[in-house]
A and B are shown apart, each in its own frame.
Chain A
Amino acid sequence: MRLKLTWKIWLLIVCLILSVLAISPRLSTEGLVVKSVQYNSSIYHQGLTQGEIVKSINGYAINSMQDYSSAISKIFIDNQSAKITITTDKNSYVYLADSPPEITLSKIPRTNIKMGLDLEGGARALVSPEIKLNEKEMRDLIAVTNQRLNVYGISDIQIKPVTDLEGNIFMLIQVAGATPSDLEELISKQGKFDAKIGNDTVFVGGNKDITFVCRDDATCAGIEQCQTSSDGEYCRFSFVIYLSEDAAKRQANLTQALNVNQSSQSGGYLEKPLDLYLDGSLVSSLMISSDLKGQVATKIQISGSGTGSTRESAIKNTESEMNKLQTVLITGSLPYKLEIVKLDTLSPLLGQQFINSILLIAVIALLAVALVVFGRYRRIVSSSLVVLTCVSEVIIILGVAAAINWNLDLPSIAGIIATIGTGVDAQIIILDESRSKEFIGIKEKLKRAFFIVFAAYATAFVSLLPLMWAGAGLLKGFAITTLIGITVGVLITRPAFSDLIRLTEKE
C-alpha cells in the first residue's frame, strides 16, 4: 500500500517536527542551571547570572545536586577561605571565598515546557496599591519591588503589571520554587530606608527627609568617568538628591564631630562614611567629602562606582548600580501603602505526581474516546486516526507554548483538555460527512464538514476572548492554550485529518 501524502499532511508533519524541536526533549543533561544569585554576594560581583549552566567547580564535574554539595564540602573542608573556579557554559569565574557561593542551583529541565506556579511550586502575590497608579508609577513600583526582593536575596522572581476588565492595575509577583516564609512581609512592607553615620541616623527615606532624587536627567545624574585599573575597568557615577532642612541640619551636626581622614592620600574624605540601609541591611557606603564637614547642605551629591572586565560592561554595571541606589532612595519615599489582595504559596512537592496524574487522565480519556469512535464506526483505522490527530494537536499546543515561553499552569491544562474535546467533535463531523450517502463527491462532502467546523471554531474563539483579561489575567492560560489549540486544529490538524480520511476512504 502506498499512500500519496498531500501538502496538508506534509504541513502537519512539518508542524509536528517544529513543535518537537521547540519542546526539545533532552535525553541526557550535563550541569546544573543557576536559578538565582544572591544580590551583592561575591559571586554576584563576579558577574555570574541567572540561567547560566554550571558545568564544574574546581574541576569537580557537576551533574546533580549531590555532586554540587560534595564538591562544596571538599572545597571548604577546613573552614578556610579557598580559591573557587566555577565553570559555566558561558564563562569561567575565579575568586577567593570563605563560604560557598550564594547561588541556588537546580536540575536542567528535560524539556523547554515551563510549568506554572501551581504545578512547579512557588509563591504568587497580587498586590494592589492603595491609590490608582498610572503606568509610569507602576513601572517605578515594580523597579522598587524588584530591587527590594533582590536585596533580600530572592532572585528567581517575575514581577509584572496586570490590569483587569475594570481597569484596576495590580502588580503580580511570582517566585518559583521554595519561597521564604516572610514573603508577605517583604512585599507589603513600605520600606524603611536609613542613612547613618556610625550609629546615628542622618536621614531616612520618605519625602520627609528626601525631597527629590535626580533620575533620568543628564544634568544631575550620570556616569562621570571611567578608567582602567589593575583588575579591569572602573567607572564612577554620581547623582544629586535634595534633603529637607531638618535632615540637612542633622547631617551638619553629625559631620561637625567627625575628623578628616588623614590616611587618605587626597585627604578629601571624613573618617566615617555615610551608610545606606534598607530595612536594616547595608546597601551601600558613601565616602563623605571633607568640605561637607559641619555644613548645612540640602543638596547632596551621592556617588559610587561599578566595575567590569571591559569598558562596556563597566559602564553597564555602573549604570545599574546607580539605578539601584536611586531606586533605594525612592523606595523609602514610596508614597503609597501596598495591599496584598491575593497570596498563594504552593508546595513544589506534589508537582511531579500531579503531572503524572494529568498524563494518566489524558491517556485513559483518549482511549475512551477511541473506544467510542470504534464502537460507532467499527474501523480501527478511523479510530486510530482520531487518536493520532488529538495527540498531534496536543504536541503542537505544547510546542507553541514552549516557543512563546508560556508557563503551563492548571488553567492552561484545562484549556488543552477543552481543545481535545472540541477537536474530537470536529473530527467526528468530518468522518460522518465524508461517509454520508448523498450522491456528491467526497470533496463536496468535506467542504460541508468544514462549514460546521469553522462555525464551531468562530463561536469558540469569540466566547474565549473575554477570559484573556477577566480576573487580573489569572485565567489567561486557559484562553491562551484553547485559542492556540482550536486555531491549530482548524488550520492544520483537521485539514490533514480530512485528507487522511479521504486517502483511507478511497480504498
Chain B
Amino acid sequence: MKENLSQAYDKYYKIILVLPIALLLISLGYLANFYFVNGDIMKKDVSLTGGTSVTIYDEKINVADLEKVLSEKLNDPSITKLSDITTGKTVGVTIETQSGENDTVTIIENYLGYKLDSKNSDIEFSGSTLSSGFYFQLLQSILLAFVLMSFVVFFLFGTSNQTKAFAAILSFAAAKLTFPNVSVISVSSIILCFAAIVAAFYFSKSKKEYIISAILTILAIFVFFFSSYYLMIIIIPILIIIYISYSIPSMAVISCAFADIVMTLFFVDLIGLKVSTAGIIAFLMLIGYSVDSDMLLTTRLTKRSTGFGSNNSRIFGAFKTGMTMTLTSIAAVVIGYLISRSFSDVLSQIFLILAIGLILDIFNTWITNASLLKWYVEHKEKNNSSEVIQNAS
C-alpha cells in the first residue's frame, strides 16, 4: 500500500502542480476583477475606510427595525448582533457606517430615544484620511515583511555568499524605503546595507560579479538619497530574479507564502468579509505560520545528508510533523473563531482569516512546495549522478 502510494506520487507529483497553479491563477484573476469593480483588492471596514462604529449594549433592540430605519439615513450601514457566549442571549448590536460620528450618534439616539454615553455604548470614529493612510502603511508593512522574510529564507537555504550579499543590499534598501522616518530602522538599514555592499565586493570573483556589485551599490546610494517608495518597483523584481536564479528551494518557500496570502484573500473576498486593521494583522501572522512548515520540509529535504531514507520517505516524515503543526494551529484558531464570533469582531476576524489561510497552507505546502522541492532535488541528483558517470568515463 505504502509502496503503491509512493510509486503513484513519483508518477504524478509534477502533474498535481496544476491544481495549485490553477487555483492561484483563478485567485489572481478574481482579485484583478475585484479591483476593477470595487477599486481595491478587498472590502474594507470602517477602521480602514474611515467612518463610525457604534456598539450599543441594549438587549431590547429590534435589529430588523433598526436596520430599516438606519439604511434610509446613514451611508451604507451594516449591523451585527453581539451575544453572550454562555447564555446565547443578545447583549447588543454594532452599527458600522461611513457617515461621520456626530450624525451617526444623533440618528441612533433619535431612534433609541435615549442618549448614548460611555456606559451604554462604545463609539469609534476614524477620519478617512487617517484610515486610508493607515491602510497604505499596513500594506507597506506586509510587503516589507514579505521582503525581509524572503531574505531570511534565502539566507538560510541559499547557496552562495555572493548572492546572499546581493539580496541583503536590496532587502535592507527596501527597509530603508519603508521606514524613511523611523531613525532606528533607517540608520541600522544603512549600516547593514553598507556591510552587505562590502561583503558583495569581498565575495566577487569574476568581472561580472564586480559589475553587479557596483550596480547594486549605485542603486542603494540612490535609495539613501532619494527615498522614493516607487524605487520598490525596481528592487522587488531584481530580488525575485536573484531568488529564482540562485535558490529554487527558497523560491519555493516564498512562492508558497505568496500563494497562501493571495488564495486566502480570494476566499475572504468570496465570502464578502469586510477586512479591518485586525484582519490585516492576520495576513501578517499568516506569513509566519505558512513559512514554518515550508522551512521544516525544505530542511528535511535539502539540508540533510543523503544517507538516510528516500526523498518520498523524507517528505512523508516532514508531512507527519507539518500536519501535526498545522492541525494544532487550525484546532486552536477554529475554536477561537467559534467562541469569539459572539463577542469580538476584532478577534473573530483574525481567527477566521487564519483558519482559511492555514487550510490553504496545507494545500500549498504539501502539493506546491513538496512537488517543487522533489522535482528540484531529483533533478539535482540526476545531474550529480550523470556527472559521476562522466567523470568515470
Chain A residues near B (Cβ < 8 Å): 118, 121-123, 126, 128, 163-168, 178-179, 181, 339-350, 353-354, 357-358, 360-361, 364-366, 368-369, 371-373, 376, 410-411, 413-414, 417-418, 420-422, 424-425, 428-429, 432, 436, 438-439, 448, 451-452, 455-456, 458-460, 462-467, 469-472, 474-475, 478
Given A421-B289, A456-B291, A463-B146, check contact A438 B308 (CB 8 Å): yes
| Chain A residues, Cβ within 8 Å of B335 | 361, 364-365, 368
From B121, B156, B336, A347 is in contact (CB under 8 Å) with B121
Chain B residues near A (Cβ < 8 Å): 55, 57, 84-85, 91, 101, 117-127, 129-130, 133-134, 137-138, 140-142, 144-146, 148-149, 151-153, 156, 178-182, 185, 277-278, 281, 284-285, 287-289, 291-293, 295-296, 299, 303-304, 308, 317, 320-321, 324-325, 327-329, 331-333, 335-336, 339-340, 343-344, 346-347, 350
| Chain B residues, Cβ within 8 Å of A348 | 118
CB pairs A–B below 8 angstroms (10 shown):
A126-B130, A165-B140, A168-B133, A342-B127, A349-B120, A361-B335, A372-B327, A428-B328, A465-B148, A472-B130
| Chain B residues, Cβ within 8 Å of A373 | 324, 328
From B101, B288, B340, B350, A422 is in contact (CB under 8 Å) with B288
A478 and B127 form a contact (CB under 8 A)? no
| Chain B residues, Cβ within 8 Å of A417 | 332, 336, 350
Report the nearest A residue to B48, measured CB to CB.
Answer: A471
B133 and A166 form a contact (CB under 8 A)? yes
| Chain A residues, Cβ within 8 Å of B324 | 372-373, 376, 428, 432
B149 and A462 form a contact (CB under 8 A)? yes
Given A357-B85, A459-B153, A466-B145, check contact A452 B295 (CB 8 Å): yes
| Chain A residues, Cβ within 8 Å of B325 | 424-425, 428-429
A414 and B292 form a contact (CB under 8 A)? no
| Chain A residues, Cβ within 8 Å of B292 | 422, 425, 456
Report the nearest A residue to B329, measured CB to CB.
Answer: A421
B179 and A368 form a contact (CB under 8 A)? no
Given A341-B126, A343-B125, check contact A181 B327 (CB 8 Å): no
Given A422-B289, A463-B146, A467-B141, check contact A364 B339 (CB 8 Å): yes
| Chain B residues, Cβ within 8 Å of A164 | 133-134, 137
Report the nearest A residue to B297, measured CB to CB.
Answer: A452
| Chain B residues, Cβ within 8 Å of A179 | 118
CB distance from A454 to the nearest CB of B (A): 9
A371 and B331 form a contact (CB under 8 A)? yes
B333 and A463 form a contact (CB under 8 A)? no
B296 and A452 form a contact (CB under 8 A)? yes
CB distance from B88 to the nearest CB of A (A): 13
B281 and A478 form a contact (CB under 8 A)? yes
Interface centre among A118, A165, A345, by most B CB within 10 Å? A165
B296 and A429 form a contact (CB under 8 A)? yes
From A123, A340, A357, A463, B343 is in contact (CB under 8 Å) with A357
A383 CA to B127 CA, complexed, in Å: 48
A438 CA to B314 CA, complexed, in Å: 11
Given A369-B332, A420-B332, A432-B321, check contact A452 B299 (CB 8 Å): yes
| Chain B residues, Cβ within 8 Å of A368 | 328, 331-332, 335
| Chain B residues, Cβ within 8 Å of A436 | 317
A470 CA to B178 CA, complexed, in Å: 10
A350 CA to B121 CA, complexed, in Å: 10
A469 and B179 form a contact (CB under 8 A)? yes
B126 and A342 form a contact (CB under 8 A)? yes
From B129, B303, B308, B331, A372 is in contact (CB under 8 Å) with B331
A347 CA to B92 CA, complexed, in Å: 12
| Chain B residues, Cβ within 8 Å of A364 | 335, 339
A361 and B321 form a contact (CB under 8 A)? no
B122 and A361 form a contact (CB under 8 A)? no
Report the nearest B residue to A365, measured CB to CB.
Answer: B332
A163 CA to B331 CA, complexed, in Å: 38
A346 and B284 form a contact (CB under 8 A)? no
Given A163-B181, A349-B57, A418-B288, check contact A472 B118 (CB 8 Å): no
B133 and A467 form a contact (CB under 8 A)? no
From A347, A369, A425, B331 is in contact (CB under 8 Å) with A369
B281 and A467 form a contact (CB under 8 A)? yes
A460 CA to B284 CA, complexed, in Å: 9
B127 and A372 form a contact (CB under 8 A)? no
Report the nearest B residue to A486, measured CB to CB.
Answer: B288
| Chain A residues, Cβ within 8 Å of B119 | 178, 347, 349
A429 and B321 form a contact (CB under 8 A)? yes
From B118, B123, B308, A178 is in contact (CB under 8 Å) with B118
CB distance from A345 to the nearest CB of B (A): 5
| Chain A residues, Cβ within 8 Å of B153 | 455, 459
Given A165-B178, A420-B332, A424-B325, check contact A463 B281 (CB 8 Å): no
Interface centre among B142, B144, B277, B288, by most A CB within 10 Å? B288
A410 and B331 form a contact (CB under 8 A)? no
CB distance from A491 to the nearest CB of B (A): 18
| Chain A residues, Cβ within 8 Å of B156 | 455, 458
Report the nearest A residue to B318, measured CB to CB.
Answer: A432
| Chain A residues, Cβ within 8 Å of B144 | 465-466
Given A165-B178, A369-B331, A429-B325, check contact A465 B336 (CB 8 Å): no
CB distance from B211 to the nearest CB of A (A): 29
From B180, B278, B331, A411 is in contact (CB under 8 Å) with B278
| Chain A residues, Cβ within 8 Å of B321 | 428-429, 432
A466 and B291 form a contact (CB under 8 A)? no
10 new A-B contacts at CB < 8 Å, known A165-B137, A178-B119: A347-B120, A357-B339, A365-B331, A424-B332, A432-B321, A451-B299, A458-B156, A462-B148, A463-B148, A474-B134
